[in-house]
Amino acid sequence: MDKNILGTNIVAQVGILVHDIEKTSQVYADFLGVEKPRCQVTGAYDEALTEYMGKPSKARAKLAFFKVGPTLELELIEPDQEPSTWRNDLDRYGEGVHHIAFVIKGMKEKIAVLGRNNMPLLQKGEYPGGRYAYIDANEDLKVVLELLEND
Amino acid sequence: MDKNILGTNIVAQVGILVHDIEKTSQVYADFLGVEKPRCQVTGAYDEALTEYMGKPSKARAKLAFFKVGPTLELELIEPDQEPSTWRNDLDRYGEGVHHIAFVIKGMKEKIAVLGRNNMPLLQKGEYPGGRYAYIDANEDLKVVLELLEND
C-alpha cells in the first residue's frame, strides 16, 4: 500500500446512519447535555451532483452534527429512498456507524490513489463550499472512509 | 432520558474489530504514515476480572492503538474465542466498528444510571490503572458505548 495516502491522520467525523434523525438527534442532545442541533438537508441533484456506484443519483439525506472533541464531530445521517451508500448500508446493516471521515486536499488525486490501493469510490457529491467522497476501505481498513475537501 | 449522563462529550476512542490484528495494524500504519504500534494483550482473568453478560469470562483480546486526533484514538481489537462482546459482534457482524469510548469518572454510578436509561451493561473488566465497561446503547444511540475510568 502507498504510505500516508491522505496526508492527514486526523479523524474529523464519525458518521452514524439512523432511521429517524429528529428522534435520534434529540436523544443524542439529551445524552450529551447539549442543545438539539438543527437538521440540515443535502442539496438536490443540480447542486449536489451526487454519483453512487458511478451513476447519477437523486439521493439526499438529513444530517445533524454533534461536537465530540476538539476536531471531531458525530454526524447523524437519515437518507431518503434513492440509491446511495447511506440507503444501501441502512437497509443492509441497520442503524449504526457508517464511516469515518478525514479532511483532505486534492479530491480527484486522492480518489485515484485510493482506487489503485484497493479502495474504490462508492459515492461522491458536492456541498456548499466543498465536496465529499465515500471510499470502500472495508477489505483493508474494515471501514468506509469519507473524504471531505473544503475550498 | 437523564441529561448529560456521562459528564463528558469527548469521544476518546473508536474501536474496530478485526480478525488479524498484526495484518490490519500494519495496513493502518501504512495508510496513516506512522510506525506500526506494538500490540498489547488484555490481562488474564485474575487481572482483568472480565464479566460478559453477568458471568465471568476468560476472554482476552489483542489491542493496537493509533492516534487520530488531539484526544482521539482508533483501537483495533482482535478477540480470542472466549465469550465477549468482541467475539459475539465479530462473529455476528464481521469486522468493523464495535464501539465509541468516553473517559468518565465514577464507573459504578455511571453503569447504574445508564442501566436505568435503557442502556444495559454488556461487559466490564479491569486494566492496569483503570477499568472499562461496554454498554448496549444500540436502541437509543445506535452504537455500543465504552466507558473508561482511569485512576
Neighboring chain A residues of B116 at a CB cutoff of 8 Å:
none
| Cβ atoms within 10 Å, residue B92 | 7
Q: What are phi and psi of A40, to 5 degrees?
A: -105, 160
Nearest chain B residue to A5 by CA distance is: B31
Top residue of B10, B24, B36, B68 to mutate, by most chain A CBs within 10 Å, is B68
With contact defined as beta carbons under 8 Å apart, do A104 and A147 qualify?
A: yes
Q: What's residue A64's pLDDT?
A: 98
| Cβ atoms within 10 Å, residue A37 | 15
Per the listing, cell 465536496 goes with A131
C-alpha dihedral over B112, B118, B120, B126, to 10 degrees?
-50
The kind and range of the H/E element at A148 are strand A143-150
With contact defined as beta carbons under 8 Å apart, do A132 and A52 qualify?
A: no
pLDDT tens across A16-33, in order?
A: 999 999 999 999 999 999
Q: What's residue B15's pLDDT?
A: 98
Q: How much is the pTM?
A: 0.97
Q: Which of residues 3-62 of A touch B (CB under 8 A)?
A: 3-6, 9-11, 14, 16-18, 24, 27-28, 30-34
Q: What size, in residues, is chain A?
A: 151
Q: What's residue A1's pLDDT?
A: 86
Compare CB distances from B72 to A2, A11, A140 and report the shortest one's residue: A11
**DSSP 8-state assignment for residue A69:** S
- Closest by CA to B31, choosing from B90, B78, B76, is B76
Counting one residue from A and one from B, how many pairs have CB atoms under 8 Å apart?
A: 117
Q: What is the ipTM of this complex?
A: 0.96
Chain centroid offset of residue B18 CA: 13
With contact defined as beta carbons under 8 Å apart, do A133 and A123 qualify?
A: yes
Q: What is the mean pLDDT of chain B?
A: 97
How does residue B136 score in pLDDT terms, banded at 50, 70 and 90?
very high
Q: What's residue B1's pLDDT?
A: 86
pLDDT tens across B65-118, in order?
A: 999 999 999 999 999 999 999 999 999 999 999 999 999 999 999 999 999 999
CB neighbour class for B148 (10 Å; exposed up to 12, middle 13-18, buried from 19): middle
The kind and range of the H/E element at A133 are strand A130-137
User: Based on C-alpha coordinates, what's the Rg of chain A?
Assistant: 15
Rounded-to-integer distance, Cα B125 and Cα B14, Å? 18
pLDDT tens across A54-108, in order?
A: 999 999 999 999 999 999 999 999 999 999 999 999 999 999 999 999 999 999 9
A1 contacts chain B (CB < 8 A): yes
Rounded-to-integer distance, Cα B38 and Cα A124, Å? 36
- For the segment B6-11, the average pLDDT, to the nearest whole number, is 96
